[in-house]
Structure 1
């Protein structure tokens, strides 16, 4: 009787909590914590993420069920020792094959979706060199603007950088660093990649929604790591080109110094390309 009395208030509280959630929060619950996607890599990452949770839940339910079954079925009833079973071949085969089957399925879908996430095209519409340095970001746009080759913009601790991207147009990113390891992460793009000194890491994606999105460094990179943030503005193609012309009018042409030195490890000469 006591447990039944507790169930009613618990159900009421749970209903009120769910009813109090906003539509945005409810949608995020359906995505299992993922933010709303804004790039063409969204579906592959979401599929892998939700699929892994479903697999984990299925395995968890099976394990919990077996534990509860063993607790109830073989609970101690008297002082006599229970009948001992030395071997149980079917169970041993199950315990051996089941993990291999689970790992095999997860491996297959990880590779399949991983290939979709990291896919590159032969001719992306735009190329941007992203430079992560202590402790801000520099963006070198490889575009011809007002007859000049390339424009750039950078940020400071007090004024974080802005990265402008055209919606529905593919963008290739070259990630470089002149100092320590950073990590380029835009949560809404469902993509994160390390920025390593002496090495150029690459990624490609297509923004699919206009708007302003948060970006950050996801690798502990020193004293002001927490302030190494930036803003991504996904705009129309015309607005994107207008922004590049504005950068050129300010004299921010060519490539920023960080971009030129970012493939060299300080103190070690030329780095690995």
Structure 2
């Protein structure tokens, strides 16, 4: 079974996009946190494969060594081996304990935050799109960008600079997820969640809401474009020139995303 599942993961990786074969189905790594999650994922698969080979090997050996020798030979139907039974009980708990340890240590590394970020972004998830408020080193809002159901937004971040994301929602629970960053965190009304990571690869990476949040949950998409420092500063200047300076609170102000697409709204008023 482990071999079969591993083969499936390899097949999925071969057709799913860059890096997925190398990382057993996961996308190309694009943040400093991705290394921890990716290593845990690959390590878990290797451990599963090793255990699967051992178990199947023991089963085949038992089938061969203890099969019925002749039609007249009836082997003993019950047998007991206390040390062996104790081992069979302890070994699975040991395996679970090792997996738990590595999962916990990986989680602590991924969630580690030292508040020495170079970029701060207040992210607002609202029905059904996203708003990015870019904050300066003094905690003051500089500019904002936002999306709508009609247009998937592309937000820019600088490469190789630590970014702190502060997440909030004015309506329902959403979930901020960029698969290539190997990170996902819930966006909960009345609660401010935050995390830190450093984008390590320039390029455009798809993001989405990973929490079923209502009728147009599937349209709650966005892109993160990781660019050079110069291009990032030019992007902020462009937002300010367009009048998008200061802070937009997403679903609580005039730039709120409409709750239904425009064509449906027009149809409802006819």
TM-score of the two chains, using structure 1 as the length reference: 0.80
Find the counterpart in structure 2 of residue 135 from structure 1.
128
Contact 2:160 2:199 in 1 (8 A): yes
What residue ranges of structure 1 are gaps of 5+ in the alignment? 1-17, 262-273
Contact 2:143 2:246 in 1 (8 A): yes
Question: Does the alignment pair 1:73 with 2:58?
Answer: no
1:214 to partner: Cα distance: 0.7
1:231 to partner: Cα distance: 0.8
Question: Does the alignment pair 1:34 with 2:29?
Answer: no
Find the counterpart in structure 1 of residue 75 from structure 2.
82
In the aligned structure 2, how far is the partner of 1:217 from the partner of 1:24? Answer: 20
Choose the corresponding residue for 1:166, options 150, 158, 164: 158
Question: Does the alignment pair 1:99 with 2:86?
Answer: no
Per the alignment, in what secondary structure is the counterpart of residue 238 of structure 1? Answer: helix
Per the alignment, in what secondary structure is the counterpart of residue 186 of structure 2? Answer: strand
Find the counterpart in structure 2 of residue 115 from structure 1.
108
1:64 to partner: Cα distance: 1.8
What residue ranges of structure 2 are gaps of 5+ in the alignment? 1-9, 254-270
1:117 to partner: Cα distance: 1.0
In the aligned structure 2, how far is the partner of 1:144 from the partner of 1:27? Answer: 35
1:150 to partner: Cα distance: 2.6
Per the alignment, in what secondary structure is the counterpart of residue 92 of structure 2? Answer: helix
Q: How does 1:144-183 map to 2 (within 5 A)?
A: 149-183=141-175
1:242 to partner: Cα distance: 1.1
Question: Does the alignment pair 1:227 with 2:219?
Answer: yes
Per the alignment, in what secondary structure is the counterpart of residue 136 of structure 2? Answer: strand
1:215 to partner: Cα distance: 0.7
Question: Does the alignment pair 1:206 with 2:198?
Answer: yes
How big is each residue's C-alpha offset from its partner over 1:103-138, in whole Å with a ceiling of 9 and x where there is no partner? 121122112221111111232111111111111111
In the aligned structure 1, how far is the partner of 2:247 from the partner of 2:26? Answer: 35
Distance 1:60 1:184, change over 3 A: same
In the aligned structure 2, how far is the partner of 1:137 from the partner of 1:26? Answer: 26
RMSD: 2.6
How big is each residue's C-alpha offset from its partner over 1:223-247, in whole Å with a ceiling of 9 and x where there is no partner? 1111111011111111111111111
Structure 1's consecutive aligned runs of 4 or more residues displaced over 4 angstroms after TM superposition are: 21-27
Number of corresponding residues: 240
Contact 1:140 1:259 in 2 (8 A): no
In the aligned structure 1, how far is the partner of 2:136 from the partner of 2:18? Answer: 41
Find the counterpart in structure 1 of residue 246 from structure 2.
254
Per the alignment, in what secondary structure is the counterpart of residue 28 of structure 1? Answer: coil
Per the alignment, in what secondary structure is the counterpart of residue 216 of structure 1? Answer: strand
Question: Does the alignment pair 1:184 with 2:176?
Answer: yes
Contact 1:131 1:139 in 2 (8 A): yes
In the aligned structure 1, how far is the partner of 2:85 from the partner of 2:169? Answer: 51
